[in-house]
Structure formats: structure tokens, C-alpha cells
Amino acid sequence: MTEDTDTPDDGAPTAGADDLAIDPWGSSTIEDYRSLFEQFGIEEFDEVLPDVAHPHYLMRRAIIFGHRDYRRVVDAMRNDEPFAALSGFMPTGEPHIGHKLVFDELIWHQQQGGDTYALIADLEAHSARGLDWDEIDEHARDYLLSLLAFGFDPEAGTLYRQSTNRRLQDLAFELGIEANFSEFEAIYGFSGETDVSHMQSVVTQAADILYPQLDEPKPTVIPVGPDQDPHIRLTRDLAARMRAFGVTRAYASFEADDAERELIAAAHAALSDEAGGEDDLVRCVEAANWLEREVEPSETRADAIRKLEAAGKEPVRPRVRFLDRNASEEAFAALIEAIDGEKRVFDEHIDAFEIDRASAEELAREVEVAHGDFGFIPPSSIYHRFMTGLTGGKMSSSVPASHISLLDDPEDGYDKVRSATTGGRETAEEQRELGGRPDQCPVYELYAYLLAGDDDEYAQTVYDECAGGERLCGGCKTEAAESMADFLEDHQARREEMREVLEDLDIDLDRQRP
């Protein structure tokens, strides 16, 4: 993913870019992962980890730290239901060890049975980074060779590049109808100076994210760095706007927002308890009176009371409400037909009294798909920490000493590790006494993110020995450097074996210029 710090050369995002907390094309580092939880509602990965059957070591070591809605995918994995994984790579330079995290995440989901996609974001590289097509073709080949060498199964999965995928571009066009410039301005800091093609690359990425659901809706996870979260949020919104139907809960015929609904639900629960559980006995006016008596005054309370009073003697009855968002007349009629049990049909919604929310969601989606709509499930995401650069600071494709390219000579890889900054002390003596600081050490990260592989015990030993002062940086770096050289040699040999495989794949790596 973008471990990259280059500034986009079309000058976008411009206005307000400094105020953006996350800018996918910017150079800011993610300073504080915790603020991502609070500010943007990214959830902690810890919450879902216990339910993941065979978690990848990146999950076990909390390198994958956050997620959105990943539980959907975890549930699908556990129940042997279809799910998908997709990520994309901008071919702006050589693939490096930071990109291996995403390769691993994709391959792991593929091994868990997911329908897995990897794409080359060549339209984005061309428009947002200004790379020419020859460079793009060369880098695209390198990303794909590394992905295959790490174990991606191209027979089971799908590889594509944005520029030659017509279905993708058609989907991007459809999504563009639901997005407008003000929204891009707010999310990405785009301005009047921003290239039209850069904007197009944003809807193209949204289309990438929904692409696995073109044939049928399924839970889909997008493994990315947290810098890509704005794209995830936008796409989750666009996916909802593309739906023919929405499903919510309601308690009476009028519309209420989430906060009002919560108050009405509380009134209903309290009063129907008093009435011995007979739903029909609770009237809207009574609920209004209850709120007046029992709940602190607030704007929400006032609104709820007003609505309840207007509904008068209408009984308060919990129900599931189907909203007509963009449905055709035929689809709306078919949904009415498909709902079992008591229902009431209104102009733009249907209330159903005998089905639960989850079955309602499923039903709405089924009818939608049967009538030629997409029925998208909001895409999920998982977020991994960025590796620290070997020289400290951010790992960047444009600073060779900061990263190890997967194409680096094993000897160069060895040397880069040997000259890396560490979390060590001034002198060996001090280190023996105080211990090293593995949490601030890019060399320790190499072990945890890559070199220790699946061997948790090895990673833990390095950590403990460092923190305990038994491990000194010289020897530690030599050990890591040797291991890195072996890794590169091995990987590069596999890449050579994959050349033939790549040639036989249905992906055009010599793009015809427009």
C-alpha cells in the first residue's frame, strides 16, 4: 500500500490538505493509531481476534491493529459461507518489504477459502502520481511476480489492472453518479485545481472495492494501511446509496431518527411491561406522557414527544421497515409480495410485523438482486501498522535506504540492515544494564513483521533478550541481516520461477497507449 511519501504532482489535494487527518496521497505519517479509533470509528482488531480460526501472525502480533466491520467476514469464514478479499497496488516503484504485509494478508484470506483479488492501480499511478506507462508496466510486472512468488494462487484468484478492465470502469461510472465534488472536497481536500482524472481514480478505487460483489453480494475485506481509510468510508457510503432498499426499525407509522427511536423503544418497553406485555395496549400519546415524566428534557425528547402526540391513539408496535430508496415499481411490488405475515404498505415504505431485522435485510437484498440491482454488502477493512523506515521515520519508496526492495541484491539487503538505526543504548555496558528498546527499534520490527515468520517464540525471544539486556545490537543486526539476505535470495529465485506463470496469465502487461 502507500508506504510512499511522494507528494502528488498535480498539486492535489491542495486546499485544506493540511487539515485532513488522513490524506491517501499525502506525506503525513500516522502519528497516533489510537486517534484513528476515536476520530474515525475504526475498531480495535483485538475485539474480533478471538473469533478468527487460524489467525495470521500479523494478527497475533497486533501488527494488524484495526478494522471496520470485519466481523461479517469472520462470521462468513466460520460458517463456510462465501466471502472475498481484495487489495490494490499502485505501481509507482519497486515492491518493498512493506508491501509484503498486504501480499501476505491477501494470500492468507485466499487460503481461508476467500475469493481473492489483487489489482494494479495503474490509472491511479498515472493520474495521481503522473507516472508514464512504460514505468507503470515495468513496476506492475514486479508487483505481480512478488505476489505470485509469495504464494498467491492465480487459478483460484483474480488479478487485473484498472486500465484494461471495462467492467470495473463501468461500475466506477455508476458509482460516480452517487458521488459529487463537495464530498471529494471534504474527504480528500480536492480543489478547483485537482485533475479530473485524479477524481476519476477515486471512483475507480471505489469500484475496485466493490468489484468482488459484481456477480453476487458477499462480505468482502480490503486489507490496507490506515491511509486508505477515506476510500473505505466513501465506498461504504456509495455502496449504501446504490441500494434499492434500506431496512430500519420503527415503532409507529411516522419516521423517527436513531436517537428518537431509542427513546420510543424505552417508553414502549417500560409501558408494555406495566401492561403485562400486551403490545396493543400502549398508545403513542401514552408513550409521549411517559417520556415527559421519565426522561430528561432534550431536543430529541421534544421531537419524539411531538411525533408521538401527533400519532395520538395509534398503538406503538415494534416493526421492521423496508425503505424504497431506488427501487423500480416491479421490485417494490415483488418485495411486498415476498414479505410474510402482517404488513402495511405505504407510498415509499413497507412495515412488517412478523420478521426480524436480519431476515429482513436478507430478503431485501434477494429481491433487489433478482431485479437486476447489486445489493452490495458494505465492504469491510483491516488495517496494518506501517513499518518504520530503516533510517528511522517513515518507510518510503522514494528513499532507498529507508526500505528494502524485494528486488534488492541480497548483499545490499544485508548492508541496509547492518546500517539500520536501532533502539539500542549508547554503549554496550549501558545496554546490558538498562536493556534495549525493541518497541522503538526498526530492526526488531524486521523480526516481528517478516523475519520470524510464523515463529512467535522466536520473535518473543528476540524481544525479551533485547529488553532484558542480554542481546546487543551488533550481533542482533548481523543475525537479522543474514536472515534478510536469505529471504531475498529465496524470494528472488521464486520470482524467476513465476515469470512463466505470469506470461500465461490473462493480464496484459504491455499496455496499448491510448
> Per residue in 245-275, is it b (16+ CB within 10 Å) or e — as a string?
bbbbebbbeeebeeebbebbbbbbeebbeee
Distances, alpha carbon 407 to alpha carbons 29, 412, 424, 492, in Å = 25, 10, 29, 7
Of 86-94, 157-165, 363-371, 440-448, the window that binds ligand SF4 (rule: CB under 6 A) is 440-448
Residue type, 465: E
> How far apart, in whole angstroms, are the C-alpha atoms of residue 489 and residue 51?
36
Count CA atoms within 13 Å of residue 453 on its CB side: 5
* Neighbouring C-beta atoms of residue 469, cutoff 10 Å: 17
Residue 442 Cβ, how far from ligand SF4 at the closest point, in Å?
8
Residue 471 Cβ, how far from ligand SF4 at the closest point, in Å?
4
Residue 465 Cβ, how far from ligand SF4 at the closest point, in Å?
7
Residue 446 Cβ, how far from ligand SF4 at the closest point, in Å?
9
What residues contact residue 8 under an 8 Å CB cut-off, 6+ apart? 25, 128, 129, 130, 198
41 vs 474, which CB is nearer to ligand SF4?
A: 474
Of 220-228, 238-246, 367-375, 495-503, the window that binds ligand TRP (rule: CB under 6 A) is 220-228
Q: Is 466 in the site for ligand SF4 (CB under 6 A)?
A: yes
Closest listed residue to residue 243, CA positions, set 129, 375, 345: 375
Residue 464 Cβ, how far from ligand SF4 at the closest point, in Å?
10
> Exactly one of 109, 416, 471, 491 binds ligand SF4 (CB under 6 A); which one?
471
87 vs 431, which CB is nearer to ligand TRP?
A: 87
363 binds, among ligand TRP, ligand SF4, none (CB under 5 to 8 A by kind): none
Residue 100 Cβ, how far from ligand SF4 at the closest point, in Å?
20
> Exactly one of 36, 42, 209, 304 binds ligand TRP (CB under 6 A); which one?
209
Judged by phi (left if over 0) then psi (alpha if -120 to 50, else beta), residue 127 lies in: alpha
> Per residue in 482-497, is it b (16+ CB within 10 Å) or e — as a string?
ebbbebbeebbeebee
380 vs 422, which CB is nearer to ligand TRP?
A: 380
DSSP string across 378-410:
PPEEEEEPPPBPTTSSB--TT-GGGS-BTTS-H
Q: How many amino acids of this chain bind ligand SF4 (CB under 6 A)?
A: 14
> Exactly one of 42, 63, 87, 163 binds ligand TRP (CB under 6 A); which one?
87
Q: E-assigned strands of 335-490?
A: 343-345, 349-352, 380-384
> Exactly one of 124, 260, 373, 445 binds ligand TRP (CB under 6 A); which one?
124
Q: How many amino acids of this chain bind ligand TRP (CB under 6 A)?
A: 16
209 binds, among ligand TRP, ligand SF4, none (CB under 5 to 8 A by kind): ligand TRP
Q: Is 477 in the site for ligand SF4 (CB under 6 A)?
A: yes
114 binds, among ligand SF4, ligand TRP, none (CB under 5 to 8 A by kind): none
Distance of CA 288 to the CA centre of its chain: 42
Task: Provide the terminal-to-terminal Cα distance of the chain, rounded to the nearest Å.
Answer: 27
Q: Is 90 in the site for ligand TRP (CB under 6 A)?
A: yes
* Neighbouring C-beta atoms of residue 142, cutoff 10 Å: 18
Q: Is 63 in the site for ligand SF4 (CB under 6 A)?
A: no
Q: Is 121 in the site for ligand TRP (CB under 6 A)?
A: yes
Of 77-85, 175-183, 255-263, 439-447, the window that binds ligand SF4 (rule: CB under 6 A) is 439-447
Q: Which residues bind ligand TRP (CB under 6 A)?
A: 1-2, 24, 86-88, 90, 119, 121, 124, 205, 208-209, 222, 224, 228
